Structures are given as structure tokens and as C-alpha cells.
Chain A
């Protein structure tokens, strides 16, 4: 009897089902299911502490209140950054000292073995210094920042941020959950690109992808923190210095958010036109995190992550930079040559050729930008033993840095193109070369425009 069956029984079935059903079938189905759940709950649940049920709501009346909502958000950010800066200082310099001390022995060993100069150069001055530099600058702040962040995340504060900020995102044509993907960006932009999957509308997801870069990731926090503390808080000491540094970093983050909103707004009026789609946001109850577990685990995870990155990107970058700094064309090194070429343009942005070159070589990973810069600055062609922040500052000052150079480098770091891994993820997620290119070009254009403007305004005002 197969022959009598129509060519596509499935379509027939669907048509038949359609003819049976009326408009609000879904509503009836869900109502019945809900009714069943309610009946089951009524028979199986007893509430013994009514007053405890609404604790979260009481807290929300503070955390998301008209008066306190935004100040608390800002304060949380400031406190997290303050603790990071205050806590990272000492371990960072201890690590740097330790690595410097250890390097002495390695060098000694090389001399004992009569290893050739170039081998020592590549392995110790390039690879070892590049890697340890990244570790000592990156590890402490990241091992402090992320556990605190994880605590907030596990407590349930992030959805409240989304709740508070929703209106701003809606006004700029973006999705309200973009604040959640931005929060992920603090950790790693590459991972945050994947997290934009929570945004279902393709248009808004693209907005979130293209602007995610404007939140500093863990490869850029240390740069921001270091430059802020060296140049922006120079006149202060002790607690005030930390406070000043933290304020500058917070200002950077806030500026990144402003840029995000502005860019989203412009894009949603032009290339990505459209209305913000509807969505619902669940605010889960606050849950007290397992404080100790969360801290230990997140510290471990982040440390392993930083160490891995140091080995996989900083080590090769260290070698490459050393090589470039030691191969001569005529009487200058390749590195100096390139820096010289870039210099006129970089000057327009309030930077110099070496800084721009460091950003270019730092495409694979943001954490190597500073080490490359330092390597470039040192005529010996290798990273110095930077003992402490003071000599670091001296290197910068010797190369004509002012607070404006630092500010522009921070701005450029905050705004420029995403790192290589992030770009790869963007390509994977959007499957579009065009949009990946936009994700590269748009932030870069903005970084150039902003630094150009600050540099020229400062000059024009005679601030420098």
C-alpha cells in the first residue's frame, strides 16, 4: 500500500495538525503544564520561613535602587581595581627581583659552557626575559583581580549590572545582555566573543562582537595599571598613589564603556540598522559563594592561564624581538629601522615609533606589548633587569615620555584592534572576512582618532 501514501507524508501530517489547531495552542499547553507544576508544588512544598524568601529582593532594593544603583556599581569597580593595584605591587617586584637573580645564575652557566653570545642572547635576553617579564607584570594583578571578580560573579551581581545598564544599551540600539558579554571581556576578549552567543539577534550580536574590544582584557589591565601608577599618580605616595592609579584605571574603563555605547549607537543608525530586540533577563537570587573555594580555584585557573600565555606567546615574541633588535641593516638594527619609519606617524598620536611597533608586534597577544617596547628601548637589544618600577620609569623618561605619552598609550591600548586570538574567534563566530576586518579596522580607527585628538588638544592648550 506504499503507493497510496502521498509523496511527503510528513507535510500531510503537518497540514492535518495545522487544520486541527487554533491560534493559542501554545498558551493552552503551557497553562496546563504550569497548572500541573503548581499542583505538584502545592502538595510537596512547605514554606517554613516566609521572611527568608524575599531577602534577595531586599538587597536588590539597594543594589538596583535609583540612588544607589550606579554609585555602587562604580564603587565595586573601583574597589576591585584598588585592591588589585594595592595587592599586586609587592609581589610583582618580588617576582621581578627573583627572576633577575635567577638570570644571573643562568648567565653564569652559559659562560661556564662557553656558549656563543648569540645563543645567550636569544635564550636568556630574548626568551627568558620576555617570558619572566610577562609573568612578573601579569601574574600578580590577574591573580588578584579575577578571584574578586569570580566572587562577584558567583554572588550574582552581574545580572544586576545588566539590569541597571539596560536602558543605556537599548538607547544605543544594542542588546541589554551586552553588559554580560562585556563583563566576560574583562577576563578575555576572545572568550567573550564566544559568550555573545547568549544574544540571539544577529544584528545585536554583531554589535556586541565589534565593540567587545573596548573593555580591557587581562592582557591590557597590567599595562593600564602600570602606566597609570608610573605617570598619572606620580605626585602621590602610599595609599593616595594607589587611589589615584585606581581612579585613572576606572576612568579608562568608564571611557571604554562610553565608547562602546557611542559606537553601538552609530552602528545601529548606519551599517547595522535596526531596532533593539526584546528580551527577558532573569535576576537569580544572590547566593553566598564558597569564598575560599572560589578564590583558590580562580587564582589557580588564572595563574595557569597567564603562565601558559607567557610560554606560548611571550616566549616566541621575546625571541623574535631579540632577533629583530640584533640584526643590523647598515648601522641600525631592523627594530630601530622600523621604529624610525613609524615615528612620524606615531608622533601625531602622541606616541613614538617604538610604541607603535610594539603594538604591531603585539598583535598575537596584548600582554607582550610592554615587554617588546622595553626591549626596543634598550640599545643593548634586550630587556633590562628592571629592578623595580623606578628604573622602569627612567627608561621611559629617557625616551622622552611625558604623562601625555602614557595617557595616549593607555588610550591606544584600550581602543586598538583586538588581539590575534580574538580576531580568529570573531572570524569563527561570524564566518565573515568582511566583519572580521571591520572588527579590526573600526577600533584601530577609533584608537588613532582619539589619540590624535588628545595629543593635539594637549599641545594646543600648551599642556605639554
Chain B
């Protein structure tokens, strides 16, 4: 008997089908449409699968998590501080190169990631063939091909989620190697980061952010936004919520 509720976050570039997937999983009706920027109010929904409760958060779509904007900070803070049990990174299979950037960034932040390769039907139409197994091996996390709008691949995704929340999947996220100069600086910073920031945050990622001069992150780390641990950022809305 397990009464725990698991938290799932949906991250990804704008327009990759996050809200569509959110709707499929929760049965809600977030606004979807083919233009970047629709989801400005992110929503929270719930679903049950195999007798277990899940809470899922549709984060705003972002091109990166480097805190260039409020949206990016919201998404970043959620992943870092709320520590979702699973982060689904939704990628557009027809523009994988750009989309993978975000996945790589998320993989620096957490290892509980499932990569959802959405829009597979579009990719197929365009003759784009992706070696899923190889991609998964390279990234070090499960990769699930999806066509969210056609509800294809959902079952496999749910199964993967179940196995991940039960710790049955060992992930080994890819480590991006940076230029020699940057790697040296990371090495210098790591011990300090571990001492001051603590072990509960991904040290290598924090070091990188510091090198990049990301003061907003340090600020957030200092005043850990505790409300995030329980809830979603202030303007989240519940089941009946409708985003734009």
C-alpha cells in the first residue's frame, strides 16, 4: 500500500506538445495551439495510474533554463527546489538538435528524467528516422517516442514513469564536456560549492551557473523558496484552470 503522491514536471521548448500531453494524462483541457507562448499560466493536474496518485505540472515552455526570463526561472526553480519525482522533457522530434539543448540542461540538474520524443508522427511524415535505443544510450536516460495528440506511446510512457518512481531505472545522464578552460574552473569551484551550497543540489551544475554569473540562482539558493517544495509557483492554478 503506497499513499505517496508522486510529482511530475513537464519541461520543454515552447510548442512541443507539453500541454497536449498534460491534457492526455489528466483529462483536462489546457489551451493548445501551434504557436510558441500559449501557456502563460501553468497548470497543475492529477491522475491515477495503477492505483498510484500523480501530480503533474505543465511548466511554461522555455528555450533554456539559464534564467533569461521569469518563465525560465520558474521552470528552473521547480526542477531544482521542488525536486519532482520525474521530469518529463518533451522534445520535438522534428527539430531534435535545438530541442536536445534543453534536455542536456535538465540532465545537468537532475537524473530523474524521461525524455519524451513527441511529434513522432510529424517526424515520420518528414522522413526523419530516429534511433531511439541509441539516443537513450547516449543520453543515459529512458527515451519514449510519442505522438501525444494521437495518444500514441502513452502507455509506454506511463510504464516508464512507474518504474522510475519506484527506483527501478538506473539512469546515468550524459555529462557535457566543456572547453578545457571551463572544466578547470569547474574543478576549482566544485569543493567550495559542495561546502557552501550543500550536497543536495547538483554541484557541477551550480558551479557552471556561477561561472556564468547567474546571481538569480545564488539568490534562490540562499533563500530557498520553500513554498516550492509543497506547491507550485504562485500563479499556478488547479484542475479547472484554463491557460491561454
- A residues near B, CB below 8 A? 9-10, 12-14, 16-18, 20-21, 25-26, 28-30, 32-34, 36-38, 40-41, 43-50, 52-53, 55, 150, 153-156, 158-159, 177, 180, 184, 191-192, 194-195, 197-198, 200, 282, 284-287, 289-290, 297, 301
Nearest Cβ on chain A to B71's Cβ, whole angstroms: 8
A154 touches B182 (CB 8 A): no
Min CB gap B56→A, angstroms: 20
Write out the residue numbers on chain B whose beta carbons fall within 8 Å of the beta carbon of A44.
96, 130-131, 134-135, 138
Pick out which of these stretches binds chain A: B29-37, B81-89, B161-169, B226-234. B29-37
Q: Which 9 A-B pairs have the closest CB atoms?
A: A49-B127, A17-B210, A37-B100, A156-B34, A198-B37, A48-B127, A195-B244, A197-B40, A153-B33
Q: Determine if A287 and B211 form an interchain contact, defined as CB atoms under 8 angstroms apart.
A: no
In-complex Cβ contact of B101 among A13, A37, A53, A289 (8 A)? A37
Is B1 interfacial (CB-CB < 8 Å)? no
> Are B138 and A32 in contact, with the CB atoms below 8 A?
no
> Nearest residue in A to B134 (C-beta to C-beta)?
A44
B residues lining the A interface (CB < 8 Å): 14-15, 29, 32-38, 40-41, 64, 66, 69-70, 94, 96-98, 100-101, 104-105, 119, 122, 125-131, 134-135, 138-139, 149-150, 174, 176-179, 181-182, 185, 188-189, 192-193, 196-197, 207-208, 210-213, 215, 218, 221-222, 242-244
A49–B122 contact, CB under 8 A? no
Q: Contacts A29-B182, A158-B33, A197-B40 known; A37 to B210 CB distance under 8 Å?
A: no
Contact of B41 among A33, A153, A194, A200 (CB under 8 A): A194
Interface centre among A20, A38, A50, A184 (most CB of B within 10 A): A20
**B139 and A40 contacting across the interface, CB-CB below 8 Å:** yes
Chain A interface SS verdict (over half): helix
25 contacts between A and B (CB under 8 A): A10-B196, A10-B218, A13-B193, A16-B192, A20-B185, A21-B185, A25-B213, A26-B66, A26-B212, A28-B182, A29-B208, A30-B64, A37-B97, A38-B97, A40-B139, A44-B134, A44-B135, A52-B126, A154-B32, A154-B34, A156-B35, A195-B37, A284-B36, A287-B119, A290-B150
**Residue among A12, A45, A159 with max Cβ neighbours from chain B (10 Å):** A45
Interchain CA distance A28-B134 in the complex, whole Å:
27
Known: A20-B185, A40-B135, A198-B40. A13 touches B218 (CB 8 A): yes
Cα of A155 to Cα of B69 in the assembled complex, Å: 28
B196 adjacent to A158 (CB under 8 Å) = no
Nearest neighbor of A184 in chain B, beta-carbon distance: B244
- Pair B212/A40 contact, Cβ less than 8 Å: no
Minimum CB distance partner of A200 in chain B: B69
Q: With A25-B212, A184-B244 in contact, do A154 and B33 touch (Cβ < 8 Å)?
A: yes
Min C-beta distance of A45 to chain B, whole Å:
5
Rounded to whole Å, the gap between the CB of A408 and the closest CB of chain B is: 33
